[in-house]
Amino acid sequence: ANSSNENDDKPRNVKLKIVFRKKQADAEFRKGDEVEITSDEEGFRGSWYNAVIVEYRGNDKYLVEYSNSRKEDGVPLRAEAKAQHIRPCPPELSPVASFCLREVVDARYNDGWWIGVISRVLDGSKYAVYFSLPDEELEFDHLKLRIHQDWKNGKWIIASEENSRRLVMNSNRLLHKMDVNEKRFRVKFPKGTRVEVKSDEPGFEGSWYSAIIVDSLGNDKYLVEYLTLKTEDLGAFLREEAYASYIRPRPQHARCTCRYKLFENVDAWYNDGWWIGQVIKVLTTWKYAVYFQTTNEVMEFEHNDLRLHQEWINGKWIIPSKVRKSRIYKKNMSIMPP
């Protein structure tokens, strides 16, 4: 017992284990900071999405809440992101009157900003923008584009002509598309040719209407007569002038005898025209729920009222890849019907 008391009175050597952690104050971003997030995921490289920092989780990782993405229940989407995939929101620059051929820009597409290059300057403040990832060209209004800036060493740098040239040179296909005479890709439409004409009127974006070429007016303009649209008095089919950039041939082999698949891009016959949409639910064997991005609506269609979606690019019909099919659904999950 005495031995036990003696041991109790002796001083003990206590070792303390001190763990050092990176404090919130040392983190590059703080809670509430508005940022942009990029991803290494296939089909999303080269795109940036607006988000807000929720918290720092250590190991250079953050919990972020996306500003324009929601889960099926309508709750804002949250995800963990590495610091290397996060940057501050670029400063707003004075708007430019126009963009130039081969200029590097950011294009607003599917709720994100995608890095591309002006490949063609179109009429009506519109531009064709080429994206190397994936290899495709899309048309945008002037207001859907912004000056491209790079975040380097803690500073925003406007893309210089040298950087623009380097980005263009990264794709031999793009260089070929832009260096050859544009007229090589323009199709001449003889009188009487069956075509489809695109509308850009508010509420009708993304729709195409069957028509016939009545006459060529020069300067890449045509007089067309619609086959489904009539004048206000319903006395005759509507005629109007249309730029060549708004006209395309009729799609070939567009009808599908088999069932459409989930997330497949389709054209839906609605209000006397073809509207670009996406199958987001297979209701029955021959009935589908189709989502329209331009109007943010979901409607039901019979199989016979749908056709395969194709895009007329540089004189060829191209069926969009599955990568593009999945993007629309992923960025608009909140509209998925029950």
Q: Tell me if 194-249 shares its fold with 265-335.
A: yes
Question: Could you confirm whether domain 265-335 is CATH 3.30.70?
Answer: no
Reduced DSSP (H G I as helix, E B as strand, rest coil) percent helix, strand, coil of the chain, to 5: 15, 45, 40
φ and ψ of 111, to 5 deg: 70, 15
Question: Could you confirm whether domain 104-180 is CATH 2.30.30?
Answer: yes
Work out the percent of the chain whose per-residue pLDDT is above 90.
Answer: 33
Instruction: Identify the pLDDT of residue 254.
Output: 66
Helix (H, G, I), strand (E, B), or coil: what is residue 307? strand
Instruction: Identify the pLDDT of residue 216.
Output: 92
253 or 73, greater pLDDT? 73
Q: Are 294 and 312 in contact (CB under 8 A)?
A: no
Q: Quick one: CA dihedral 116, 66, 84, 29, positive or negative?
A: positive
Instruction: Identify the pLDDT of residue 21.
Output: 46
Instruction: Identify the pLDDT of residue 181.
Output: 38
Q: Which fold is adopted by the domain 194-249?
A: SH3 type barrels. (2.30.30)
Instruction: Identify the pLDDT of residue 256.
Output: 74
**CATH number belonging to domain 24-88:** 2.30.30.140
pLDDT digits (tens, 9 = 90+) for 211-226: 999 999 988 899 999 9
| Distance separating alpha carbons of residues 38 and 87, to the nearest angstrom | 9
What are the boundaries of each domain within the chain? Answer: 24-88, 104-180, 194-249, 265-335
Q: Are 117 and 105 in contact (CB under 8 A)?
A: yes
Ranges 156-160, 272-276, 322-326: which has the least confidence = 322-326
pLDDT band at 122 (very low <50, low <70, confident <90, very high): confident
Instruction: Identify the pLDDT of residue 299.
Output: 95
| pTM beyond cutoff 0.75 | no
